[in-house]
């Protein structure tokens, strides 16, 4: 079992700060959905370094990111399966 970042989309959506997307060391791991206005994580790429948690808590002061065990995440986005998406709105079943 390992941990990955999980973003509270309600808190994140209210801020639109995008700082975590700029400080994540991995490319296309914290993605930003322009339509929903929130960041989200590609769980298959996240290495669990927690830099984004520090950025969100200390720099942005939004406290929207928590580390969760991979088995606690339901329907996590996996970029290796579906590829890059500018938004997840269309791909989500209604």
Partner 1 sequence: MSLETIKPSPGFHNYLPKEYQDLIEDGPFHQKRKVSELGSFKEAIEEHPMCAGCAMTLFIRLVYLGLPSLEHSVIVGTAGCGRLAITQGAVPFIYGNYGDTNCVASGLKRGLDIRFKDTPKDVIVMAGDGGLADIGFHAVMHSWFRKEKFTTIMLDNEVYGNTGGQESGMTQKGMVLKMAPNGKKFEKMDMLGLAKTSGVAYTARISPTNPTKVVNTIRKAVLIAREVGPTYIQAYTSCNIEYAIPTPKVMDDAREVEKDRYGYLEYFSDEAKEYWDKSEADRKKARKAQVK
Distance of CA 14 to the CA centre of its chain: 15
Distance of CA 79 to the CA centre of its chain: 12
- 3-state SS class at 65: strand
Candidate list 13, 37, 54, 76; residue touching partner 1; CB under 8 A: 54
Site string for partner 1, 59-78 (x = CB under 8 A): --------------------
Per CB under 8 A, 45 contacts partner 1: yes
Residues that bind partner 1 (CB under 8 A): 18, 21-28, 30-32, 34, 39, 45, 47-51, 53-55, 80, 83-84, 86
């Amino acid at each position: 079992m390992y941990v990955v970042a999980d973003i509270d989309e309600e808190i994140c959506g209210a801020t639109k700060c995008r700082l975590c997307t700029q400080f994540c060391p991995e490319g296309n791991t914290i993605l930003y959905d322009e339509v929903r206005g929130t960041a989200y994580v590609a769980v298959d790429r996240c290495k669990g370094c927690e830099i984004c948690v520090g950025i969100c808590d200390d720099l942005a002061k939004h406290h929207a990111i928590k580390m969760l065990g991979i088995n606690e995440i339901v329907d996590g986005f996996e970029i290796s399966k579906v590829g890059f998406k500018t938004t997840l709105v269309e791909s989500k079943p209604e």
